[in-house]
A and B are shown apart, each in its own frame.
Chain A
């Protein structure tokens, strides 16, 4: 009886969840679908709803005309570089903001916050001038620096909130046990905020992986383009090979999804770890 009574509730929940899955998944499905279509199909009305999986074998041929793997490698270098540099700097900044008292602490926190108020487009021109004078144009590490400047504040806020939650006694106990401050950070604090580091890593990695504006402005050499810029280069004056763009886009999303799946486990374990006191 109770099962029957609960049935409408279960059905309603399934409906809502299903709806969300469709809303979230449809663009991805359509991307894959488009990648498996021919240009002729795409430009006539009524694209097929089902996937032409038999055309999967054609994709390598379609993509062989463009250096997509080179671009993705560049994207990976930029994303990994941004993530690494940003995490190192933000852990130190978050620790200082959380644990030290110093003059101008509020100003530092505000400045970090202020970087998030300006749209990137606003500072592209002044940043271009800086890149020219420092010789950073056309260099991947230049992009890493620019991206880090923008993504680091978010990571700092996430990590500071995590460090704030760790009781001071834990570090004091380590102090008494003879652990200097540097090791308190690396041996005690870091393992405890690993879930937040994973969350910050995801944000920083995707910022670097998806970044377009700076890459498009500061990198002129097609060999050094990240995939985000490479994809846009397909758009021509007279036509856009949509199937090729989408095939490249599918390829472009795979490493990002894999990275997220690997890191996601850390984030979820962190969420449940906090549920138990102590």
Chain B
């Protein structure tokens, strides 16, 4: 049972601030995903937990004990690297047994030459062999135990990296984009395997990724990071339906949440681009706001339907069971609107089936009253969420 607490953790490389005021708590058996675009500081955060990177200021505590100055070994964490970081000159068995052997090394075993002899001797001990074989069995690596990493496929290498982490009994498992080097099919398979491992092991996992699918499917809680700052902490469902700001709204979801500029006057919301009046209830009486709406919340209607907004089809991607319609509020075939002056850009609607539409068609879109988010145009922060009422 280990709780990890971050208190105002900061990290700078020279003048560049990578992590700013990171405070969070990770409870036991949690599957926490650090999600964010490249360069947002999520890997740095993970390395700070492991002790591979120093903390500039702030504190990390394991069960209340400050561990800032502790060596990685003393923190008792397991780390799975993006590049797997297997030892290329060792067989799979030697790779997996390495942490176990190091656990059993006395200080003087580390003398040159003696260390190689002791490594071989300890590797032969029945308890070490048994533990290695047990983990290898769990991850279906038994046939490859005597192979070198060079002779394994990407997925198998990934498994060896996981096995090396699992063979110990660490307080927390740290995984740094472990699936990013795998192909799409293997990735979805390994996603399921890692989730299953998490349930079986019963320990906390901290998982870094820029892939929102991994975050949404595996996490019990997600921390969305951007430019070194926490944007939102919540369950995958909360992050999806109730984004705290426009960054989270635009980052999560594929296609992401539509952010439509609105003008509010006398309590009436109009689409800024066309001035079209809507029947929505804005959270402010006057001013500019952004309306956030998930593509699947929009539904296709006739253009002249009461309450519907008029739009023009910019693209239509049939994905089989559903269609993603790209739309704009002005006529895309209208030459008087120059693309570079296009104020609104393309928004998206996700509808089921394959509606008979083509690019340039005039359509109507029904915006539901619930499941909407309103954001401040200036700050980008959420103003109000009207929670989804499931039918």
Interfacial residues, chain A to chain B (CB-CB below 8 A): 167, 169-170, 172-180, 182-183, 186-188, 191-192, 273, 276, 278
B157 CB-CB contact with A under 8 Å: yes
Name 21 A/B residue pairs within 8 A (Cβ), A-sorted.
Answer: A169-B81, A170-B86, A172-B52, A172-B79, A173-B81, A173-B86, A175-B71, A175-B72, A175-B73, A176-B52, A176-B73, A176-B77, A176-B78, A178-B103, A180-B110, A182-B110, A186-B116, A187-B116, A192-B89, A278-B86, A278-B88
B83 CB-CB contact with A under 8 Å: yes
Residues of B within 8 A of A191 (CB): 89
Q: Which chain A residue shows the least CB distance to B167?
A: A177
A276 CA / B87 CA spacing, docked (Å):
14
Q: Which of B50, B85, B89 is the one whose CB lies under 8 Å from A167?
A: B85
B115 CB-CB contact with A under 8 Å: yes
* A183 near B115: Cβ-Cβ < 8 Å: yes
* A186 near B81: Cβ-Cβ < 8 Å: no
Total contacting residues, chain B, CB less than 8 A: 30
B107-119 vs A, Cβ < 8 Å mask (1 yes, 0 no) = 0001011011001
Total A-B pairs, Cβ < 8 A? 69
The 8 closest A-B CB pairs, nearest first, are A178-B102, A169-B85, A173-B85, A178-B73, A177-B99, A191-B89, A183-B110, A186-B112
B261 CB-CB contact with A under 8 Å: no
* B79 near A176: Cβ-Cβ < 8 Å: yes
B121 to chain A, nearest CB (A): 14
A147 CA / B50 CA spacing, docked (Å):
45
Interfacial residues, chain B to chain A (CB-CB below 8 A): 50, 52, 71-73, 77-79, 81, 83, 85-89, 98-99, 102-103, 105, 110, 112-113, 115-116, 119, 149-150, 157, 164
Chain A contact residues: helix, strand, loop or mixed: helix
* B102 near A175: Cβ-Cβ < 8 Å: no
A90 CA / B85 CA spacing, docked (Å):
26
Q: Which chain B residue shows the least CB distance to A173?
A: B85
A180 CA / B105 CA spacing, docked (Å):
11
* B116 near A177: Cβ-Cβ < 8 Å: no
A96 to chain B, nearest CB (A): 16
Residues of A within 8 A of B115 (CB): 183, 186-187
Residues of A within 8 A of B150 (CB): 273, 276, 278
A273 CA / B89 CA spacing, docked (Å):
10
Residues of A within 8 A of B77 (CB): 176
Q: Which chain B residue shows the least CB distance to A167?
A: B83
Residues of A within 8 A of B87 (CB): 170, 173-174, 188
B100 to chain A, nearest CB (A): 9
A175 CA / B72 CA spacing, docked (Å):
7
